[in-house]
């Protein structure tokens, strides 16, 4: 059975993205252990010179490092991911590199009809950054639109087509995890490149 970390990509206390991850945790409990984690209490990223990472960030990094894979569910604010999720990824790539070669599945719920499609596209770009280097499952958008009316009073997804889509994508993610486990021959080098990467050095080299 796979052990997965599910990141609630918002600081809202009444988030349908949290509901979606809770549904996934319960619905897939026979094939995976899914632990929901929050990022809303992370301090504002301030790029400390000593690269001292807050304890709450270190704890999440350790959980990600130990997990078989990560699920991130993001809402969409102004066609983008929330600032709190950007903040968390900034911390999780500052002197620590738990996402390097880690399989990631992206989901999203939104009140409107687009289901966080633009935010998911942006999140893919971010997770592919030199300091993160995650392995994002390809061709796998789960877009839960009209999310305020998507769940019943027992937190079950009402639409059977949405459930069927999510089941198919989750099965694919478990296969993706297994495939990714075979692609670790360059893991140490990928971690080193993430650690060695510097936007300042890149900028200076372009000025030479």
Q: At 185, phi and psi to the nearest 5? A: -65, -25
pLDDT at 207: 53
Decide if 152 contacts 146 (C-beta within 8 A).
no
Inter-CA distances, 163 with 19, 23, 188, Å: 14, 10, 38
Report CA torsion sign: 119, 39, 190, 130. positive
Inter-CA distances, 65 with 44, 74, 162, 169, Å: 22, 21, 30, 23
Please, what is the end-to-end C-alpha distance for the chain in angstroms? Answer: 52
The full set of domain ranges for the chain reads: 2-207
Q: What is the pLDDT along the chain (208 residues), one digit of tens a residue?
A: 999 999 999 988 889 999 999 999 999 999 999 999 999 999 999 988 888 999 999 999 999 999 999 999 999 888 889 999 999 999 999 999 999 999 999 999 888 777 688 999 999 999 999 999 999 999 888 888 889 888 999 999 999 999 999 999 999 999 999 999 887 777 878 788 877 777 656 445 545 5
pLDDT at 200: 58
- Rounded to 10°, the helix 83-91/117-127 angle is 10
Write the DSSP symbol of residue 77.
B
97 CB contacts (<8 Å, ≥6 apart)?
A: 131, 132, 133, 191, 194, 195
In 3D space, the residue among 179, 190, 185, 81 whose CA is nearest the CA of residue 138 turns out to be 179
In 3D space, the residue among 10, 6, 5 whose CA is nearest the CA of residue 85 turns out to be 10
Domain 2-207 carries which CATH code? 3.40.50.360
Q: Which two tokens stand for residue 6?
A: 């599910």
Q: What is the pTM of this model?
A: 0.90
């Amino acid at each position: 059975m796979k052990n997965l970390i599910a990141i609630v990509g918002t600081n809202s206390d009444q988030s349908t993205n949290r509901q979606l991850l809770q549904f996934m945790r319960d619905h897939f409990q026979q094939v995976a252990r899914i632990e929901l984690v929050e990022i809303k209490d992370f301090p504002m990223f301030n790029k400390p010179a000593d690269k001292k990472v807050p304890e709450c960030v270190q704890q999440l990094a350790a959980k990600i490092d130990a997990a078989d894979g990560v699920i991130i569910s993001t809402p969409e604010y102004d066609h983008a991911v929330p600032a709190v999720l950007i903040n968390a990824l900034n911390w999780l790539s500052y002197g620590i590199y738990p996402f390097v070669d880690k399989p990631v599945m992206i989901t999203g719920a939104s009140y409107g009809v687009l289901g966080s499609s633009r935010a998911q596209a942006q999140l893919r770009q971010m997770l592919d950054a030199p300091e993160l280097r995650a392995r994002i499952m390809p061709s796998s958008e789960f877009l839960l639109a009209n999310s305020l009316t998507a769940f019943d009073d027992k937190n079950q997804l009402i639409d059977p087509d949405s459930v069927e889509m999510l089941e198919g994508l989750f099965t694919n993610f478990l296969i993706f995890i297994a495939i990714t486990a075979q692609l670790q021959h360059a893991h140490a080098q990928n971690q080193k490149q993430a650690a060695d990467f510097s936007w300042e050095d890149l900028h200076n080299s372009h000025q030479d």
